[in-house]
Amino acid sequence: PLVSCAVESAARIYPEQPVVFLMKGLNDSTQLPPNSTASAFSLLSAIDNVFLFPLDMKRLFEDTPLSSWYAQVNSSTERHWLYVSSDACRLAVIWKYGGIYMDTDVISIRPIPDENFLAAQSSKISSNGVFGFLPRHPFLWGCMENFVEHYNSAIWGHQGPDLMTRMLRVWCKLGDFQEVSDLRCLNLSFLHPQRFYPIPFRQWRRYYEVWDTDPSFNDSYALHLWNYMNKEGRTVVQGSNTLAENLYRKHCPRTHRVLIQGSEGSVTQELGPGDR
């Protein structure tokens, strides 16, 4: 359900924009077959501006610095291949086509006004779970070059948030955040942690707790629910009145109605591991 909520909420916030969900395992067709009974797809494929496309990494990496790396890497020996390959794909997609990348455990709650931005996870650390750029932005080309030149898949995050943080320090000389204001240098914005991470990762369980009064998140554009931290398998339960359930009700009502309440149709399965 979290994957579905992430996609549905983005489609609701950006109704005039295509929301593209790239997935390994789809065939080369750009559309699901008309008689598809894949229950997890039916909900998303019914949304007008959502498009489910197959992910072809070899083709995606063509004409980027990642092409030579991908031709040489042995995925079967890579300890963190799921995450490393995802880190690479998001760089290539946004460099080639532009737009906003979001992990599938991010619930959109209002439009992001910036075109070229990174999301601060803390005062000095950039996330790569949400970022946006115009096509062919040189920052992302530099990230792809750095990805290859300093490749070290043994360290979790080295090719992802650590890469973004390294490149940001090369690109910008940034000070500290002042209250809830973003930092800017050249044509790049470094958005305050409140924009996407008002609940920090060590407190991720708070999303699955009942609050006396739900927070307004007035300073946030989207909420990262930290699915990577959720080793306990916590999920949204109908009638639990947790913060997460209330976010589903408000920002992805179709997902809540079909996947949580189960009152319409038989869509009961999750799409995948949750945050990639």
For residue 111, being part of any structural domain is answered with yes
Exposed / middle / buried, residue 168 (Cβ in 10 Å: 0-12, 13-18, 19+) = buried
For residue 143, being part of any structural domain is answered with yes
Can you tell me the distance from the alpha carbon of 29 to that of 256, in angstroms, rounded to the nearest whole number? 29
For residue 89, being part of any structural domain is answered with yes
The residue segments making up the domain with residue 257 are 2-261
For residue 276, being part of any structural domain is answered with no
Q: What is the pLDDT of residue 38?
A: 56
Q: What is the pLDDT of residue 36?
A: 42
According to DSSP, residue 228 is labeled G
For residue 267, being part of any structural domain is answered with no
Residues, the chain: 276
Can you tell me the distance from the alpha carbon of 57 to that of 203, in angstroms, rounded to the nearest whole number? 34
Q: What is the pLDDT of residue 123?
A: 82
For residue 91, being part of any structural domain is answered with yes
The domain total for the chain is 1
Which CATH number does the domain housing residue 200 bear? Answer: 3.90.550
According to DSSP, residue 15 is labeled T
For residue 92, being part of any structural domain is answered with yes
For residue 72, being part of any structural domain is answered with yes
Other C-beta atoms lying within 10 Å of the C-beta of residue 12: 18
pLDDT (tens digit, 0 to 9) for every residue of the chain, 276 residues total? 899 999 999 999 999 999 999 998 776 654 554 444 355 678 999 999 999 999 999 999 999 999 999 999 999 999 999 999 999 999 999 999 999 999 999 999 999 999 999 999 988 899 999 999 999 999 999 999 999 999 998 898 999 999 999 999 999 988 889 889 999 998 899 999 999 999 999 999 999 999 999 999 999 999 999 988 888 888 999 999 999 999 999 999 999 998 888 743 443 333 333 333
